[in-house]
Each structure stands twice: as structure tokens, then as C-alpha cells.
Amino acid sequence: MALIVQKYGGTSVGTVERIQAVAEKVKGWRDKGDDIIVVVSAMSGETNRLLDLAREIQGNPVPRELDVLLSTGEQVTIALLSMALDACGCSARSYTGHQVHIRTDGVHNKARILDIDATRIRRDLDKGRVVVVAGFQGSDEEGNITTLGRGGSDTSAVALAAALKADECQIYTDVDGVYTTDPRVVPDARRLERITFEEMLEMASLGSKVLQIRAVEFAGKYNVPLRVLSSFKEGKGTLITYEEQEMEEALISGIAFNRDEAKLTIVGVPDQPGVASKILCPIGKANIEIDMIIQNVGVDGTTDFTFTVHRNDYDKALAVLEQTRQDLRAREVSGDNRIVKISLVGVGMRSHAGIAGTMFEALANEGINIRMISTSEIKISVVVDEKYLELGVRALHAEFDLGDKPK
């Protein structure tokens, strides 16, 4: 008998019929003898409906009150799912984040979970009940309602799995697992049976938005086996696991990409200590997030400095950088917002030289010019012109033989 935490997202509980389907699914697991904790999001559309109400009143709603408002979304779902479970003969109890003591810090709208007191949940499980918990929410030390930010239900599920030492945390979503790359770009992209936490982190942050990064970090930190599955399709999904366990023998797990990049360069900056922070601090103060950063070896006492930002922030970043150029007496500012990032991800590349060479050659063979390169231990990212995205991803997917193997 296993203890399993299952998380169903907004689409999976978007209508009464779907909630009933989830109840049947949960009952199936329960009937097999497993103990089940279900974490749910708000019904799809509900969070936006509530946000719209708030914004009609206040362009920038008070964060504390926004949490009081938004947390009702999940509360509706837990009640309805518990009724649906009861209706199909499966004893269940719903709990808000506060009720099961999901204690967070006091940062409204993006709180972090500090700890969970699982006493009450254990008591219900011992009585044979399914426990249904509102995702995305908790409460701070003073009992104020907090929310974890969008997608926080994944984190709630993982945190509960960690607190209860669950055997597996299953994230049900509208895709049936993690793929070698986006099947819309490469039709023979293959679902991975397993992927490591580290690879998953790189895949997620690079644009394969299957799971929230924070949830994956959390799962890695507490060694919670995490599985991504489809709510609507039978299947085993993808298990996200630790490197120590037996892995598929692949060097490369997948190819991630990000369409929304823009790059900025400041040219002829005096090459002296502290200059990087003088360039990046004003960008940070303007609330612009930076992705890649590249600084080359300086020549003639000056250097060039390049970084990438989200495409939406391009114009704002350009203005900030122009101001910095004047302050630093740098030569010039340039940029490009028609670029994309393509990344090879795989723990296997750690111990294998030559992967980067193969990657660059495969791109060169297609006539794709590489504009920037950045590497970490388990990934190699290149920035190329937007128009080469599909061509580049397909070339790499073929080069590293990631496609569906013939059965």
C-alpha cells in the first residue's frame, strides 16, 4: 500500500463533469488500496474571473486582500471534489491550506512554504479517507491567508508529499509527460520515461513549461519522486528522479527552446572591476529579469558586454542601457529582439566531451549562424536568429537521435 499525492490542475477540474472524472480516477487508486491525498487548483477561468473583479476596484490590488480573494478559487474546487468523491462512495475530507497548517512566510502573492503539520491529514488517512487539499495557498504565522503565486499548486503537492514522505507525487496535467522537445516543432519527439531533476529544471526554465520550477526544486531538495501524467489519457507519464538511480543511457535528454528572447550589447565599456554590476544593477532596479550574460575578454582596455531579456522588456532595457552607456562613457549600445534560444539538456553531457562540437557542427551544416553561446554542466544554449528556430531544433533532434525508436 503506497501513499500517493496527486495534483490536478485547473483544466483537469474545469467543469463539474471533469471534477467527477477526477473523482472516479481517485477512487480507482483508492480501490487498489493506496492512500491518496489530492491537491487541486481553481477551476480554469476562476482565478482570472476573480482577478478581473479585483482590478475593477483597484488597478494594483492590496496584496493581502488579493490572497484572501484568490484563495477562494481552490476552496470551491476542494469542496466540489469532496462531494464528487462522496457521491461515488469514496469517503473524503477537504482542507484549505490554512486548515492543514501549510505555513508560509508573509510575502503575499508569492509566499514560500516553511513547513506543514501533517497530523490532521494522517488522522484522516488512518480513517480510510481521501484527503483533498487546496493548492496554491497557505497561511503565515499570524494566520493571514497567503498564496504561492501562479502554478503554486504544484509546489503545494510536492511539499505535502515531502511532509508525509509519500511514495510518489503525481502531477496530472494536459500533457502526458515530458518530451525530448516540443512535438509541435518536431513531430517524432519522444516521451521520456525518466528525466533527472537537474535536467527537468533546465527544461522547465528554458521554456518546456510542464511543471513549475519551484516545485521541481522542492522535489529535488526533499527527494520526492515526481511523475507528470495526463488527466485525460491513460499512461505512465514521465518520472522525474535522481541521477543516482538507473538512467536511460542517453547523453542528451531533450532540446528546449525559448522564443521570447531579446539580446542587448553595450560596446567599448572600460574594462575595470565593478563594471558588470554598474551595467546590471540599473536593469534589475527597473524590474527586468536577465537570462544569459556574456562578457568577453577585453581588448585595448575596453570590453563588450551582452545579455538577454524577455522580449517584452526589450524597449525598457534598451532605454536603461543607453543611460548606463552615457554614465560609463561606453562606445555604443546595440540590440536585437528577433532572436531565440535553443538548448541541449542532459546529465550525460557532463562526462562526455565533444557534445558542444557536434551541436555547433549540426547547426553550421544547416547554415545557422550562432550569435551567442552559454553553457552549464548539463546544458548548452545557443542564441540564433528567430527564423532558424524550427530548423535548428529539428537538426539537433535528428543529430542526437532523440526521435521515436521503431518498436
Q: Is the CB of 145 or the CB of 378 nearer to a copy of itself?
A: 145
Q: How far is the CB of 75 from a copy of itself (least distance, A)?
A: 5
Residue 304 to residue 265: CA distance in whole angstroms: 7
Restricting to residues 30-59, which ones interact with a copy of itself according to CB under 8 A? 50, 53-54, 56-58
- 62 contributes a contact to a copy of itself by CB under 8 A: yes
- 64 contributes a contact to a copy of itself by CB under 8 A: yes
Instruction: List, as one string, the DSSP characters of 292-315.
Output: EEEEPPPBTTEEEEEEEEEGGGHH
Q: Is the CB of 116 or the CB of 372 nearer to a copy of itself?
A: 116
Residue 177 to residue 77: CA distance in whole angstroms: 24
Please select the residue that binds a copy of itself; options are 4, 84, 210, 309, rule is CB under 8 A: 84
Q: Is the CB of 153 or the CB of 381 nearer to a copy of itself?
A: 153
Q: How far is the CB of 152 from a copy of itself (least distance, A)?
A: 18
The window from 70-78, 164-172, 262-270, 290-298 that contacts a copy of itself (CB under 8 A) reads: 70-78
Q: Is the CB of 80 or the CB of 226 nearer to a copy of itself?
A: 80
Residue 26 to residue 91: CA distance in whole angstroms: 11
Q: How far is the CB of 132 from a copy of itself (least distance, A)?
A: 9
Residue 283 to residue 290: CA distance in whole angstroms: 8
Instruction: List, as one string, the DSSP characters of 328-362.
Output: HT-SEEEEEEEEEEEEEE-GGGGG-TTHHHHHHHH
Q: Is the CB of 68 or the CB of 107 nearer to a copy of itself?
A: 68
Q: How far is the CB of 21 from a copy of itself (least distance, A)?
A: 12
Q: How far is the CB of 153 from a copy of itself (least distance, A)?
A: 17
Q: Is the CB of 145 or the CB of 275 nearer to a copy of itself?
A: 145
Which 8-state DSSP code applies to residue 73?
H
Q: Contact 232/178 with Cβ under 8 angstroms?
A: no
- 358 contributes a contact to a copy of itself by CB under 8 A: no
Cβ within 8 Å of residue 87, ≥6 positions away: 20, 23
Give me 380's grid cell.
548548452
Residue 27 to residue 36: CA distance in whole angstroms: 9
What phi and psi values does residue 283 have, to the nearest 5 degrees?
A: -65, -45
Restricting to residues 88-147, which ones interact with a copy of itself according to CB under 8 A? 93-94, 96, 98-99, 143-145
Q: Contact 229/236 with Cβ under 8 angstroms?
A: yes
Among residues 162, 169, 158, the alpha carbon closest in space to that of 214 is found at 158
- 72 contributes a contact to a copy of itself by CB under 8 A: yes
Number of residues that bind a copy of itself (CB under 8 A): 36
- 68 contributes a contact to a copy of itself by CB under 8 A: yes
CA–CA–CA angle 332, 313, 297 (5° rounding) = 40
Q: Is the CB of 54 or the CB of 213 nearer to a copy of itself?
A: 54
Q: Is the CB of 125 or the CB of 384 nearer to a copy of itself?
A: 125
Give me 69's grid cell.
480573494
Among residues 205, 158, 202, 203, the alpha carbon closest in space to that of 177 is found at 203
Q: Is the CB of 145 or the CB of 148 nearer to a copy of itself?
A: 145
Bridge partners, 376 (sequence order): 379
Q: How far is the CB of 54 from a copy of itself (least distance, A)?
A: 6
Length of the chain: 407
Our measurement of the distance from residue 263's CA atom to the centroid of its chain's CA atoms, rounded to an integer in Å, reads: 23
- 71 contributes a contact to a copy of itself by CB under 8 A: yes
Residue 164 to residue 142: CA distance in whole angstroms: 24
The window from 12-20, 166-174, 312-320, 330-338 that contacts a copy of itself (CB under 8 A) reads: 12-20
Please select the residue that binds a copy of itself; options are 20, 173, 303, 381, rule is CB under 8 A: 20
Q: Contact 163/120 with Cβ under 8 angstroms?
A: no
Q: Is the CB of 94 or the CB of 253 nearer to a copy of itself?
A: 94
Residue 17 to residue 30: CA distance in whole angstroms: 20
Interface ranges with a copy of itself (CB under 8 A): 16, 19-20, 50, 53-54, 56-58, 61-62, 64-66, 68-69, 71-72, 75-76, 78-80, 82-84, 86-87, 93-94, 96, 98-99, 143-145
